[in-house]
Amino acid sequence: SDPLVRDPLMKQLAKLEAKAWTAAPTGGGSGKEVSVLSPFDTNVEVGKAIWANEADVDRMVRTAHAAQVAWDQLGGLARADCLDRTADLFEQHREELFSLCIREAGKSTIDAVLEVREAVDFLRFYASEARRQFTSPLQLPGPTGEQNELRLHGRGVFAAISPWNFPLAIFTGLVSAPLAAGNAVIAKPAGQTPLVASLAIKLMHQAGIPKEVVQLAPGSGSVVGGTLTAHPLIAGVVFTGSTETARMINRTLADRDGPIIPFIAETGGQNAMIVDSSALPEQVTRDVISSAFQSAGQRCSALRVLFVQDDVADSMLEMIAGAMKALTVGDPADLRTDVGPVIDEGARAALQAHLDDLKAKGRLLAEIELPASTGNGHFIKPSMYEISSLAELDREHFGPVLHVVRWKSGKLDKVIEAINATGYGLTLGLQSRIDTTRQYVEANARVGNLYVNRNQIGAVVESQPFGGEGLSGTGPKAGGPHYVARFATERVTCIDTTAAGGNASLMA
């Protein structure tokens, strides 16, 4: 029989397909019960989720608030141990996590494996950050006779609002960083992906993080997100999702009663790749295919607009169109699948309308037909369209759609200007063998992550801290050296260490 079907992992995953998963608010919920349907086949129910209502969210914030100080006082070492134990449990339960990423979020099997890897990386890196920064005070220089110490503490209860496109990795990152810093966390997963989030939170509890300290609040953006962000006992919000939602959260935070609090947001992008005539065509082809089409283009890092220098454009585009023909679209549970479904009907319809519009304008360069097996799912043909300029795109199109713009030799400055003019600043790819070109792009492109002669997705925790600027987010970079400290408040103690303890003269 088929060697892929006989593979032990594939067998395990097939067994897990029978499992009925559930998610519910920590401590119980009184909102509605919803069916979680597979994006690959909407006749398949992956599980059920009970949503939280306003009263549930209020109760969670209050119990979390009451438990937070003890969690903070536990110290960085003990908290790091809890996060490391969670990472161990994620590894032990990896088949279940893979299965949920595939079935609930429509991730390809390879993406699901990478997703669990990234979640574990976040847990272990933020554990190491807790040990590094939350164990002993930082001694600061000062005049003789004074001892100055800076300590980091948790701020209180953080709301962690996460997206469906990395329902485990980003979810875990947004929850574990504030935990590492000594905060309690109310975690709101995306409405589409509560099940894998629920398993993640259960494993955190099993690892010894108290139930009051990290709580799951599944539900809608308006009820759960709205109640959480307006709550006077929330001490901070961390969010990954659309720029539009980030603006809404900002408005809620501005109007709410209570302290002024930090908002850490990682949002959209209008990510470009610039290809010049010194680039290696095979490499460009490989990197464009993965940057634009892996994860069905549903990464905020994904390539949206390919800028090709005009004198190499025809041959380059022909190679890319040829390589697109090798993409397998279909069941994300099949190891051979490169491109799975998009997340839901809303996403599919919005993308389809965009493609129909470009097609009507005669811009189609290449598209991949959908096999019959995709009939019950939310599928979009992976496709490539030529547009006249970047300004033609009014917003981010979050799916397997690549736009192409030709640029004229000698006009690199205009390309960078156009990219900066979008206001987004997340990822940028550059394919060039010319050092001065790279230096020019580094100095002038306002982006968070520049990838040279490689693909522009798959930032690795700690090695490639991820995040942008402008419309793409507030920073600091997830998985970077400044991230965890942003969830903390700084307290400085100044001690007079002279023999007299400062009392020799009462007026000194």
Catalytic residue among 266, 367, 386, 396: 266
Catalytic residue among 96, 101, 129, 300: 300
Q: What are phi and psi of 247, to 5 degrees?
A: -65, -40
Nearer Cβ to ligand UN1, position 21 or 451? 451
Confirm whether 300 is a catalytic residue: yes
Nearer Cβ to ligand UN1, position 53 or 270? 270
C-alpha closest to that of 90 among 71, 54, 65, 118: 118
In whole angstroms, the minimum distance from the beta carbon of 294 to ligand UN1 comes to 9
Report if residue 165 touches ligand UN1, rule: CB under 6 A. Answer: yes
Q: What is the DSSP letter of 333?
A: T
In whole angstroms, the minimum distance from the beta carbon of 234 to ligand UN1 comes to 22
Report if residue 107 touches ligand UN1, rule: CB under 6 A. Answer: no
Among 246, 418, 459, 488, binds ligand UN1 (CB under 6 A): 459
How many residues bind to ligand UN1 according to rule CB under 6 A? 11
Which of the residues 276 through 305 are near ligand UN1 (CB under 6 A)? 299-301
Report if residue 240 touches ligand UN1, rule: CB under 6 A. Answer: yes
C-alpha closest to that of 162 among 264, 75, 73: 264
Nearer Cβ to ligand UN1, position 171 or 487? 171
Q: What are the residues facing 49 on neighbouring strands?
A: 23, 34
How many CB atoms sit inside 10 A of residue 142's CB?
13
In whole angstroms, the minimum distance from the beta carbon of 10 to ligand UN1 comes to 25
Q: What are the residues facing 406 on neighbouring strands?
A: 308
Confirm whether 266 is a catalytic residue: yes
C-alpha closest to that of 400 among 108, 162, 192, 191: 108
The piece of 123-131, 146-154, 455-463, 489-497 that touches ligand UN1 (CB under 6 A) is 455-463
Report if residue 458 touches ligand UN1, rule: CB under 6 A. Answer: yes
Q: Which helix (H) or strand (E) holds 443?
A: helix 435-444
The vertex-372 CA angle with 6 and 306, nearest 5°, equals 95
**Distant-in-sequence, close-in-space partners of 444: CB < 8 Å, separation ≥ 6:** 413, 416, 420
In whole angstroms, the minimum distance from the beta carbon of 452 to ligand UN1 comes to 15
Among 466, 473, 483, 486, binds ligand UN1 (CB under 6 A): 466
CA distance 44 to 36: 9
In whole angstroms, the minimum distance from the beta carbon of 350 to ligand UN1 comes to 17
Nearer Cβ to ligand UN1, position 207 or 289? 289
**Distant-in-sequence, close-in-space partners of 311: CB < 8 Å, separation ≥ 6:** 277, 409
The piece of 34-42, 191-199, 391-399, 456-464 that touches ligand UN1 (CB under 6 A) is 456-464
Nearer Cβ to ligand UN1, position 405 or 457? 457
Report if residue 457 touches ligand UN1, rule: CB under 6 A. Answer: yes
8 is written with which tokens? Answer: 């032990």
Helix/strand/coil percentages in the chain, nearest 5: 45, 20, 40
Nearer Cβ to ligand UN1, position 165 or 229? 165
Q: Give Dmax (Cα) for the chain.
A: 90
Report if residue 103 touches ligand UN1, rule: CB under 6 A. Answer: no
**Distant-in-sequence, close-in-space partners of 31: CB < 8 Å, separation ≥ 6:** 25, 50, 51, 52, 53, 56, 219, 223
CA distance 474 to 316: 36
CA 464 to chain centre: 14
Nearer Cβ to ligand UN1, position 103 or 299? 299
Nearer Cβ to ligand UN1, position 227 or 301? 301
Report if residue 238 touches ligand UN1, rule: CB under 6 A. Answer: no
**Three-state DSSP class for 393?**
coil
In whole angstroms, the minimum distance from the beta carbon of 189 to ligand UN1 comes to 14
In whole angstroms, the minimum distance from the beta carbon of 346 to ligand UN1 comes to 18
Task: Check: CB of residue 425 under 8 Å from CB of residue 448.
Answer: yes
In whole angstroms, the minimum distance from the beta carbon of 56 to ligand UN1 comes to 27
Q: Residues in the site for ligand UN1, rule: CB under 6 A?
A: 165-166, 170, 240, 299-301, 457-459, 466
Catalytic positions are 266, 300
